[in-house]
Each structure stands twice: as structure tokens, then as C-alpha cells.
Amino acid sequence: MWETAKMALEKALPESPITVEVPRAEHHKGLISCQVACPVHTDARGYVRAIAEGDFERAYLIARGPNPFASICGRVCGAPCELSCRRGKIPRTDDDSYFITPDRPIAIRALKRFVCESYGAEARPSTEILAALRGQEPTVAGDAEEMAFLLRHTVQGSFTPAKDERVAIIGSGPAGLSAAHDLALLGFKPVVFELEPVAAGMLAVGVPEYRLPRELIQREVAVIEALGVEIHCHTRIGRDISFKSLREQFAAVLITVGAKRPRALGLPGEAGPGVYGGVDFLRAVALGESLPLGSDIVVIGGGNVAYDVARTVVRQAAYDAARTAARLSGTRRVRLVSLETLEEMPADTVEIIEGDEEGIERVSGWGPIAIQRNQAGQVAGIEIKRCLRVYDEQRRFSPQFDDQDLQLLDCDTVLIAAGQATDLSFLEDGGADVEQFRPGWPKLDPVTLMTTAKGVFVAGDLAHGPRLLIDAVASGKKAARSIYQHVTGHMLHPETLMSFVRLDHYRRERGYERIRRVELPALEAEERLKNPQATVEKCLGEEAAVREASRCLDCGVTPVFDGSRCILCGGCVDVCPTLCLKIVSLSSLNPSQELTALVQSQLGESADWQDNSAILKDEDRCIRCALCVDRCPADAIAMERVTFRTDWRTA
Ligand SMILES: Cc1cc2nc3c(=O)[nH]c(=O)nc-3n(C[C@H](O)[C@H](O)[C@H](O)COP(=O)(O)OP(=O)(O)OC[C@H]3O[C@@H](n4cnc5c(N)ncnc54)[C@H](O)[C@@H]3O)c2cc1C
């Protein structure tokens, strides 16, 4: 009779009652942790399973549906989905010969890249992609409901489009362009103003080319333009056009200028030649501008941006050496100084390993005190002191140093990659009512993203501080919905729809539980340095991608138990390879209010807790193998697929 229940107190003493969670709809939604973790709620499980089934175009459409930057995300997304992937979290079992524990998450980002390379902006012109997304071509397998799910963009239901009202967007980063994408779909004429010669914000002038090819950026942006989005590059608001005039001429203004100013550290000797912001350096390289670097370079910072800077310097050095024989003798040294020790560094492990391979020297656990300059004013070195701790007990940034443990690193250039700041100077003309809670950071309504100035919205890094590209995408889409409501007066309401479908022919791939995570193919260090622009990470081949996808535990599928059929034979418990099922007496359970309600609804008010039993299921361990279904002689267990999506509906 029992529904599945999660055993929350795994290590409870036998005599103490076991506390269980009675699963509700929300519980089932939470099981699909990859989809929940993605800021735009991409159904990662859905596209990974589609890849496992060889249905690659469908996989692409699932990935692209809610995310106008799917191809770029396939290359560089910070992938919160992978961090939450349950395959990487299954507790160790006693018998590791059957199931690999601890295991690693599915390579979701690399799988996204795999399908985008065949069906995304990399492979098809904008018209074809938009046609496929709109469902004008019979490219998708599945029923009509599923099509609607794949093709929903921004709004469902009795939707009244905007009437071509113009919306100004300042900044063409992922937040601005995602907002423009959705505003175009909502019936607006979005006009994007970008000060740089190229669109896409930090993706184009921050993320180095060896991680993200420039042509791919242009192609993904072209799909957004094909929706009718106007992008004006070389146009700085505050210089070429005033903020005031935008407010006068447009129905709404969205500010998505990011945080592209490097944050200074305020060190003695910092101001002057030879010290640059890391993001300024990356921008200069991306745009082919020259920035005079010396031959002995120190990068300050321990995160991914610091690695982007250091690895780009290494590539510049390799490039210069190849180009100019005279430079060969002055081979550059690149050192990366971080407050954090190696174990604490926030940079991704792959960055640290590949950085090591490329010759970056780490000076971990040290903080800068001062930059020394010679009499000519050139950088001569940097003084550093040992860092005793970076964070306090509450995990707040609060570095402490050993003032006695100092060293001087000789160097001629310092690149600082220790955070970014904003530049809102354009507000001086016409933006006095955009209040700031701290200089550079506008006050905003967290629900609508509207600032204190009516009709002026913010999104992206400017709204929530520097985060991931996919956070900027989510925030841009949210701003688009708010602008729609503000301009048209039609309200949009979120509606989460859940479906539960019994799977009578559920089968898993043979041996899927023992497959190890694929190692992502990458260029050798020597090749990387010979060809500084070459993309380091390679795409998975079809066989590797299908195999990797088959590792997905398909968390949305779950065994459900029909207590009226169960004969308590214990077969399901015996056969379960991860020991996630238990049969216990009802009396051993903590009679919480919700459990009592469930028991009474099934067995009546006078249920005998001594004489009845429950099957408990530990969700963390279940690998959806369905062996319990096969074993059950009473046909009391079935596999059920849960899916959810949130639609935005007009009233
Ligand atoms: C070096 C670097 C590497 C990164 N790598 C990754 C990664 O691998 N994965 C990941 O998920 N995230 C990464 N990020 C984070 C990600 O790039 C950002 O979170 C994201 O770009 C923020 O988007 P946004 O649209 O808010 O701002 P931005 O991308 O910063 O775009 C803002 C745009 O506004 C323009 N602008 C500013 N002022 C004006 C003005 N007055 N007039 C007109 N235009 C203006 C700017 O030129 C810029 O193009 C990285 C960030 C950096 C700095």
C-alpha cells in the first residue's frame, strides 16, 4: 500500500523511530535536480536521455528551447546542472564491485555541445534553427504535448502580443540579448546598444577564444537578430546617446551593462604603467588591441577569470615568440598569486591542471601588499604576505595574514583579476531617479527587476553581481516578462505543470551503472601553445556521447508501489543492488502528522501500526534500474515518469 518514502534518518538507532518523508508533487519535482538547478530550468535530464536514445535533434531542441545561448553554453557554461547531478552524489555502498561509488556527475555540458555541433548555430543557418524551434518542420519526434513543451518560448495560453513597442537595451551581453530574444517573441521591437565593436558582452571580450570560438558567438547572435532584434555596436550610452533620450524615445529601458570594470586592490604602487585589470587585458586581446606586457608577469587571483588571464598571457607569449625571433630569448614567466591554497582555489580543477601543463607557476596562499616600482616608474616587483585564512567561520570573505611571512616577487607586469565593478556614469544625464543601494549597484524590485525609476529595468551581472552566463540569461528572460507586463498591462502568471506517466516498457542500458564518466578530449599542451586560438576542449564523438548519456540515472523516473497488491515477500529489497529499499514495521516509524494522515487514508482511522508494514525507499541511492519491478511477483511495483515545466500564462 505504501507510496515510496525517503528515509531521512539513515543512521537512526534501531530503537529510535525512523523519520520518513512522505513524497508530494514537490518532492518529485525536486528529484530532477539538474533541471531544478539550471537557472532557466533546462530539462537536462530530457536531452541527456534523448542523446542516449540516439534522438539528437530532439535533444538539441530541448536544450535550446529555454536558452538562446545553448551552443555557447555547450562550450563554457558553469553547468550548475552538473554540480547537482545525483550520479555524482550516490553514497558509497559496501559492495563497490557492483556500482561505482563515489561516482561523478554526467558530463551534461559536453553532451549539450555534442548535439549543438550537429543541430545548433554551429551547423545550421538562423532560419533553419528558428523554423525547427517554431515547429514549422517535422523535425521532432514525440506527441503534440511534448512539441508544445519543446517549442514554448516565453508565454503560453491566450497571449496578447505587444504592439511593436520599442524597448531600449543597454549592453549586448547574455542578459541583454536574452531579454531582446524574448521581447521579440513577445511582440516588441528590441533595440540593443553596445559600446564595443562586437556583440555578446563578456562572452566576446572576456572569455578567451581558446575556450569559445568567435565565429560561434557571431552565429548564435545572428539567430537572435533573425527574430528582429536590432543591435547597434560602437554605441556608448552616455557618450553617443544620452540615457535621457532613451527614456524619452522608448517604451521601456533595460540596463544590462554588466560589471566590466576591473576592481582595483588599492595597493601602494598600483596606479601607473605595467599594472592592468585582467578583464581589460582580455578585452584588448579579444579585440586585437595592443597592451604592452613585459616578460615576467604576475596575475593576482585564484578564480577562473585569473586563469583566463594567465593562460591568455601564456598564449600571447607563445604567439609572439613564434612571430618574432627576437623575442625568443625573452621567454615569459607567468605566475599566479592567489590568497587561497591549491585546495581552496575557486578555479575549476581543469583550469588548474591545464594551466600547470602550460607552464603557469602557482603561488598559492599569498596575498599582495604593495607593487614596487623602480626610479623610472616601471614595475619592479610585488610584495606578498602569507595568507592564514581566506574565509571566516560563516564562509564570509575575511582574509587574515601573517605579517611576518613576506616575500618579494620580481616582475615587470601585474594583471589583477580579483573581481569586477560596474560603471553607471551614463545615469548622470537623465537617470537621477535610478537609486543605488551602493555606488554602482541599482536598487531593484527582486520580483520585477524594475529600478526605482518607472520603466527602467536591470538584469544580468548588474542585477545580481558577477555570476555565470546562464544566470545572466535567466535574468534577461525575467526582465523581458516584467517589461511585457509593464508596457502592455497584461499580467503573466507562472504555472508549474507536472505529469506522471506509467512506463510499462521501461528498460535501462546494459551495465549503465558501471560506466565511468567520460574524460573530455582536449588538445595536448604543446598543440595548445603552438596554436593559441585553437579550442582546447574537443567535442565528444557520437559513440562516447551516447555512452556517457546512458549513465544518466533518469531521476525523473521512479518506482511506485501499490500497497494493495504487495504481499511483503521482500523480493524487491533482496534484488535492489544499491540497498535502497527496506521493509519495516509501521510502528518503527516516527508518526509525523503527514505520515499519520497517509496511514489513515490507506488503512482507516484505527490502523494497527504494529501489524502493518511499510516499504521505505532511500531516494539518494536509487539508480532507477527497475530490478524491483522485474522481481515483484505481485505486479505491485511500476516505473513512473515525472516531468515538470513552468509556463507563463496571461490571465
Ligand atoms: C573573463 C570572464 C570569463 C567568464 N567565463 C565564464 C564561463 O566560462 N562560464 C560562465 O558561465 N560564465 C563566465 N563568465 C561570466 C559571464 O560572462 C557573465 O556572468 C555574463 O557575461 C554577464 O552577462 P551580462 O549580460 O550581465 O553582462 P556582460 O556580459 O558584461 O555584458 C555587458 C555589456 O554591456 C556593454 N556596456 C557597458 N556599458 C555600456 C554603455 N554605457 N553603453 C553601451 N554598452 C555598454 C558592455 O560593453 C558589455 O558588452 C565569465 C566572465 C568573465 C569576466
Ligand 1 atom, smallest distance to 171 CA: 34
Q: Please name the residue whose Cα sits nearest to atom 20 of ligand 1.
A: 469
Cβ of 221 below 6 Å from ligand 1: no
Cβ of 278 below 6 Å from ligand 1: no
Cis bond upstream, residue 102 (ω within 30):
yes
Mean pLDDT over residues 201-226, rounded?
97
Q: What string of DSSP letters covers 368-385?
A: EEEEEE-TTS-EEEEEEE
Instruction: Report the alpha-carbon distance of residue 400 to residue 390 in Å, rounded.
Output: 6
Ligand 1 atom, smallest distance to 79 CA: 11
Cβ of 426 below 6 Å from ligand 1: yes
Instruction: Report the alpha-carbon distance of residue 177 to residue 186 in Å, rounded.
Output: 14
Cβ of 456 below 6 Å from ligand 1: no
What pLDDT, in 10s, does the model give residues 73-126? Answer: 999 999 999 999 999 888 766 665 566 667 899 999 999 999 999 999 999 999
Pocket test for ligand 1, best of 177, 216, 257 (most atoms within 8 A of CB): 257
CA of 171 to the centre of ligand 1 (A): 9
Cβ of 191 below 6 Å from ligand 1: no
For residue 11, what pLDDT is reported?
40
Asked if 352 and 340 count as a contact pair (C-beta separation under 8 A), the reply is no
- Strands 436-438 and 441-442, sheet pairing: antiparallel
CA of 499 to the centre of ligand 1 (A): 37
Cβ of 72 below 6 Å from ligand 1: no
What average pLDDT does the chain have?
89
For residue 253, what pLDDT is reported?
98
CA of 205 to the centre of ligand 1 (A): 8
Question: Is residue 414 predicted with pLDDT exceeding 90?
Answer: yes
What are residue 333's DSSP bridge partners? Answer: 296
What pLDDT, in 10s, does the model give residues 462-521? Answer: 999 999 999 999 999 999 999 999 999 988 888 888 888 999 999 999 999 889 999 999
Instruction: Report the alpha-carbon distance of residue 198 to residue 471 in Å, rounded.
Output: 21
Cβ of 260 below 6 Å from ligand 1: yes
Q: Is 627 helix (H, G, I), strand (E, B) or coil?
A: helix
Mean pLDDT over residues 127-151, rounded?
53
Asked if 487 and 252 count as a contact pair (C-beta separation under 8 A), the reply is yes
- Helix 56-64 × helix 126-134 angle, to 10°: 90
**What is the residue whose three cell numbers read 592592468?**
276
Asked if 538 and 68 count as a contact pair (C-beta separation under 8 A), the reply is no
Cβ of 415 below 6 Å from ligand 1: no
Phi, then psi, of 504 in degrees rounded to 5? -85, -15
Cβ of 461 below 6 Å from ligand 1: yes
Q: Please name the residue whose Cα sits nearest to atom 18 of ligand 1.
A: 469
Cβ of 277 below 6 Å from ligand 1: no
What pLDDT, in 10s, does the model give residues 329-356? Answer: 355 799 999 999 999 999 999 999 999 9
Asked if 650 and 158 count as a contact pair (C-beta separation under 8 A), the reply is yes
Cβ of 468 below 6 Å from ligand 1: yes
H-helix or E-strand spanning residue 60: helix 56-64
pLDDT band at 30 (very low <50, low <70, confident <90, very high): confident
Cβ of 173 below 6 Å from ligand 1: yes
**What is the residue whose three cell numbers read 576592481?**
263
Query: How many CB atoms are closer than 10 A to CB 127?
Result: 11
CA of 56 to the centre of ligand 1 (A): 30
Pocket test for ligand 1, best of 469, 473, 478, 536 (most atoms within 8 A of CB): 469
Instruction: Report the alpha-carbon distance of residue 127 to residue 124 in Å, rounded.
Output: 8
**What is the residue whose three cell numbers read 562586437?**
198
CA of 259 to the centre of ligand 1 (A): 7
Pocket test for ligand 1, best of 77, 192, 202 (most atoms within 8 A of CB): 202
Question: Is residue 145 predicted with pLDDT exceeding 80?
Answer: no
For residue 241, what pLDDT is reported?
98
Instruction: Report the alpha-carbon distance of residue 179 to residue 483 in Å, rounded.
Output: 9
Q: Is 495 helix (H, G, I), strand (E, B) or coil?
A: strand
Cβ of 207 below 6 Å from ligand 1: yes
For residue 12, what pLDDT is reported?
40
Cβ of 466 below 6 Å from ligand 1: yes
Asked if 628 and 559 count as a contact pair (C-beta separation under 8 A), the reply is yes
What pLDDT, in 10s, does the model give residues 375-412? Answer: 999 999 999 999 999 999 888 889 999 999 999 999 99
Cβ of 171 below 6 Å from ligand 1: yes
What pLDDT, in 10s, does the model give residues 297-331? Answer: 999 999 999 999 999 999 987 655 554 433 333 55
**What is the residue whose three cell numbers read 571566516?**
392
Instruction: Report the alpha-carbon distance of residue 423 to residue 462 in Å, rounded.
Output: 10
Phi, then psi, of 179 in degrees rounded to 5? -65, -45
What pLDDT, in 10s, does the model give residues 256-267? Answer: 999 999 999 999
H-helix or E-strand spanning residue 275: strand 275-277
Query: What b/e sequence results for 374-405 when a residue is b if at least 16 CB atoms lie within 10 Å of its CB, and e otherwise?
Result: eeeeebbbbbbbbbeebeeeeeeeeeebeeee
Write the CB contacts of 370 (distance below 8 Å, at least 6 apart in sequence).
Answer: 267, 268, 269, 382, 383
The 3 state secondary structure assigned to 125-142 is: CHHHHHHHHHCCCCCCCC
CA of 346 to the centre of ligand 1 (A): 19
Q: Please name the residue whose Cα sits nearest to atom 26 of ligand 1.
A: 460
What pLDDT, in 10s, does the model give residues 618-644? Answer: 888 899 999 999 999 999 999 999 888
For residue 319, what pLDDT is reported?
55
What pLDDT, in 10s, does the model give residues 542-596? Answer: 999 999 999 999 999 999 999 889 999 999 999 998 889 999 999 999 888 989 9
Ligand 1 atom, smallest distance to 77 CA: 11
Q: How many CA atoms lie within 13 A of 519 on its CB side?
A: 4
Mean pLDDT over residues 59-69, rounded?
94
**In the numeric block, which cell numbers belong to residue 178?**
536574452
**What is the residue whose three cell numbers read 520603466?**
455
Instruction: Report the alpha-carbon distance of residue 286 to residue 358 in Å, rounded.
Output: 20
pLDDT band at 23 (very low <50, low <70, confident <90, very high): confident
Which residue stretches of 169-277 are H helix?
Answer: 174-185, 202-205, 214-225, 243-249
